[in-house]
Amino acid sequence: MNQQKIIDGLKSVCLCKGIKKKAFLEHVEKGVNTVHGLKKATGAGSGSCQGKRCTPRIEEILK
Ligand code: FES
């Protein structure tokens, strides 16, 4: 894994729950390919904003 990929993986996707991009990518590698699936697998979207901030970022990861 190159350095840029490691740094990218440390970026917060779900700010409310403090979930990093790396956690989402691990589930994508295991075959999770929907926003709902990633939210369920990581716990994202259940914070105080109810996914308003992280949902667009999760969609971006899946593109
Ligand atoms: S940023 Fe994910 S629930 Fe608020």
What residues make up the domain containing 45? Answer: 3-62
Q: Amino acid identity of 7?
A: I
Per residue in 44-53, pLDDT (tens digit) is: 999 999 999 9
Pocket test for ligand 1, best of 17, 21, 58 (most atoms within 8 A of CB): 17
Across residues 23-32, what is the average pLDDT? Answer: 98
Number of domains in the chain: 1
Q: Is 14 in the pocket of ligand 1 (CB under 6 A)?
A: yes
Instruction: Please tell me the pTM assigned to this model.
Output: 0.91
Buried b (16+ CB within 10 A) or exposed e, 9-42: eeeebbebbebbbebbbebeeeebeebeebbeeb
DSSP-assigned beta bridge partners for residue 14:
19
DSSP 8-state class, residue 47: S
Indicate the SS3 state at residue 2.
coil
Residue 38 has pLDDT above 90, yes or no: yes
